[in-house]
Structure 1
Amino acid sequence: MVSYGMQLPVQSQSTLYAEAWEAGAGPGDLVEIARAADRCGFDYIASCDHVAIPRRLAGPMGTVWYDPVATLSYLAAATERVRLLSHVAIVGLRHPLVSAKAYATLDHLSGGRLVLGVGAGHVEEEFDAVGADFTGRGRVLDETIDALKSALGPEEYPEFSGERFAFKDLGQRPRPAQERVPVWVGGSSPAAVRRAAVRGDGWLPQGDPRDRLPAQIAKLLRLRAEAGVEAPITVGAIVEPLYVGEAGWEVGRRTLTGKAEDIAASLRAYGEMGVHQIQVRFRSRSRTELVDQMAAFAAEVAPHLN
């Protein structure tokens, strides 16, 4: 069974994917898009994480990066069902108890809709500015995931002892509404795939083309089996940009466009690879066009995904 979710527009505006209309958009647009995802059966809406962007990267990355906890909490109040994914939280920038307090509160307030997506990060100046370890960020992330699993569990006084972090006899409430918050690991490097296999409840590949995914998924499952992890893992994929129907404007050569049944047939290939959830993105020239595309996908494409 393949479900579908989306990274929200507006909240991050890298030139690699942001549409022109997003520059003038704001909170009201985010609310309407989140509500559309809620009523159209999207499994999740996602928000990114960067604390600060150095000038050398501001051209391609931009400096618009909403805080994921603030953004998803705001949208939780405007929605009822759709899950709330951090895609991805750079949790190595913060002490695990600080992250646990924020994300436990989000899960509590949303009635148990959090999916905690985590990643290592890649902006050295960002780590330096907050006193975090950039060179050792992979090892820090591994330990942080372990610490967060304890801190986001059911215990009011969680305990953890590692090389960098240790805590006990420190109470945190509210507790998450979920008994166990799912942790999805982002990244496609060998280290990220191994991290997802050993520590993750889900894997969020970043930029893997279709022809590379089957080998990556096979590696993920092999590493998980070798580690003795028997729990199932949710395998994700970021699909090509979409436009349902005839656009009448230039949507880019990589965009899947045309009849709904043709788009669905193309996307079914992901399920055949072993993907459980696809992250979709629609080309659009306005919020209205985006919401219309979301509705068209839900009504005309999604019923044929499985």
Structure 2
Amino acid sequence: MVRVLPEGRLSYGMQLPVQSQSVIYAEGWEAAAGPAELAEVARVADRSGFAYIAVCDHVAVPRRLADAMGTVWYDPVATLSYLAAVTERVQLLSHVAVVGLRHPLAAAKQYATLDHLSGGRLVLGVGAGHVREEFAALGADFAGRGAVLDESIDALRAALGPEEFPEFAGERYAFSGLGQRPRPARERVPVWVGGSSPAAVRRAAVRGDGWLPQGDSRAELPSQIAKLLRLRDKAGIEEPIEIGAIAEPLYVGAPGWDVGRRTLTGAPDAVAESLRAYRAMGVDQIQVRFRSRGVDELSEQMAVFAAEVAPLLNQ
């Protein structure tokens, strides 16, 4: 296992604004924002102790989904490479890369270069994907995307390892005698597997260094975590797995505006007390999202969270 997070503590990271703009979660101000705002938020995360910053992955969004998903989806490798240059310590997470859309050698070239340039800060989050038209346009196998992802993870582990001439032989992909440099800065790039379906949980248990659940409520997480650990034990894998959770939207303090009924608000100690429940479930990292009306308010929320909530998460 490649450990990313400090052992025995609840860490926190975030999906960045601006880079993906689904109407489900994007704030109104993001539509007019761009690289400057994206870089500013990344810098705040970097200096505020966030474990990672994350970027999503969609190549193209069909018209039937555009009203809900939007069409603003920055490329994860290009975006994380840009942000690597303006940050120093924060981990760079693809959450999640739909690696079945690309040949593993092509993906390995991109992600190895990113890890090399960032000094070993890549966390490769992977998922199966869900947009049929996207797969069709790229000539990828949508119906068999689960099996493709399984093999892609194995192929990527080989291609992102220490060998200059990696070797892999599978049902769909095979390569040998082909050199790729630069190599990743890490000897082994951590792979976090995303998704909450039975197949995704099984995949994370057997193939993942970490698990990125998607959409599980607090009530659902304990049973999902127990299942994940049972499957890992059954597979004979003794290495621990870093378990994530997506927390409710947050606003530290009294917002003074409508932040939605699902948003967790209040004084820092109250917010921390609520979030500590994730640690009690066995979660290693929470992905946080702050309600905001602009980049300045978002940066302020991040800083207040880091200074006043985060120190209370592990009490």
Provide TM-score, normalisation by structure 2. 0.97
Matched, 1:281 2:289: yes
Q: CA deviation at 1:230?
A: 1.1
Matched, 1:272 2:280: yes
Matched, 1:66 2:74: yes
Q: What is the identity, as a one-letter code, of the residue corresponding to 2:53?
A: I
Matched, 1:41 2:57: no
Cα distance in 1 for partners of 2:70, 2:41 equals 22
> 2:310: which partner in 1?
302
Q: CA deviation at 1:176?
A: 0.2
Matched, 1:175 2:177: no
> 2:145: which partner in 1?
137
Matched, 1:261 2:291: no
Matched, 1:209 2:217: yes
> 2:4: which partner in 1?
none
Within the candidate set 234, 244, 264, 2:242 is matched to 234
Cα distance in 2 for partners of 1:152, 1:232 equals 21
Cα distance in 1 for partners of 2:54, 2:166 equals 27
Cα distance in 1 for partners of 2:237, 2:140 equals 30
Within the candidate set 118, 126, 131, 2:134 is matched to 126
Within the candidate set 28, 36, 48, 1:20 is matched to 28
Q: What is the identity, as a one-letter code, of the residue corresponding to 1:110?
A: S
> 1:105: which partner in 2?
113
Within the candidate set 136, 159, 163, 1:151 is matched to 159
> 2:258: which partner in 1?
250
Q: What is the identity, as a one-letter code, of the residue corresponding to 1:240?
A: E
Q: CA deviation at 1:294?
A: 0.1
Q: CA deviation at 1:19?
A: 0.0
> 1:189: which partner in 2?
197
Matched, 1:218 2:215: no
Provide TM-score, normalisation by structure 1. 1.00
Equivalent residue of 1:45, what SS?
A: strand
Equivalent residue of 2:166, what SS?
A: coil
Cα distance in 1 for partners of 2:238, 2:261 equals 41
Q: What is the identity, as a one-letter code, of the residue corresponding to 1:236?
A: G
Cα distance in 1 for partners of 2:237, 2:109 equals 28
Once the two structures are superposed, residues 136-192 of structure 1 have per-residue CA deviations (whole angstroms, 9 ceiling, x without a partner) of 000000000000000000000000000000000000000000011000000000000
* Structure 2: stretches of 5+ with no match in the other structure: 1-8
How many residue pairs get aligned? The number is 306
Cα distance in 2 for partners of 1:174, 1:210 equals 42
Q: What is the identity, as a one-letter code, of the residue corresponding to 2:59?
A: V
RMSD: 0.3
Equivalent residue of 2:158, what SS?
A: helix
> 1:2: which partner in 2?
10
Q: CA deviation at 1:232?
A: 1.0
Cα distance in 1 for partners of 2:305, 2:148 equals 39
Following TM superposition, where does structure 1 have runs of at least 4 consecutive aligned residues deviating by more than 4 angstroms? none
Q: What is the identity, as a one-letter code, of the residue corresponding to 2:191?
A: V
Percent identity, aligned pairs only, is 78
Equivalent residue of 1:243, what SS?
A: strand
